[in-house]
Amino acid sequence: MPYRPIENYGIIGDMHSIALVGMDGSIDWLCFPHFDSPSVFGAILDDEKGGRFRISPASGDFKSKQLYWPDTNVLITRFLSPEGVGEVVDYMPVDTQADGHSHRQLIRRVRVVRGEMSFRMECFPAFDYAREKHETEIEAEGACFRTPRLGLDWRCTYH
């Protein structure tokens, strides 16, 4: 896959970190949990081993556009195809608390707006610019990615 120009990315953040979301629904840059933390997703620098978190239509026959909900940092990536319209809504909540401790989140919501559309999800973290190995534990409702310094939980819920 060729590298995309920077203008083909939307940005989301929580005042502690940011993520770059491509027009194809791929998060290609995220340092987590802070701006100066090592990268978790870095495909913008190395498409082959940099890591990404992509949610996009299973069919390659689509056009896309991005927009923000008015006056927010909530990014909508909309996919248009002859069969239907789907979207991924991305945001990082600010100051989420869990048990009195700061809890950083990246939220991705997927839905079909009209017609039919199947999605494909690929989550390939590459911790510390792809230098740090991690372990993956698959669970019924998601997955956990763990390194000695950082753990990420991926959860899927249906509505």
pLDDT category of residue 1 using cuts at 50, 70 and 90: low
What token pair was written down for 119?
Answer: 């999605």
Q: Report the C-alpha gap between 26 and 109 in whole angstroms.
A: 13
Query: Which residue type sits at 105?
Result: Q
> What's the first-to-final CA gap in the chain, in angstroms?
33
Q: Report the C-alpha gap between 33 and 151 in whole angstroms.
A: 10
Query: Which residue type sits at 36?
Result: D
pLDDT digits (tens, 9 = 90+) for 98-134: 665 667 889 999 999 999 999 999 999 999 999 999 9
**Strands of the 151-155 sheet, one edge to the other:** 135-139, 142-146, 151-155
The overall pTM is greater than 0.85: yes
Q: Report the C-alpha gap between 72 and 101 in whole angstroms.
A: 24
User: Over the range 33-57, which residues count as b (16 or more CB within 10 Å of their CB) and which as e?
Assistant: beeebbbbbbbbbeeeebbbbbbbb
pLDDT digits (tens, 9 = 90+) for 53-94: 999 999 888 999 999 999 999 999 999 999 999 999 999 998
Q: Report the C-alpha gap between 81 and 64 in whole angstroms.
A: 9
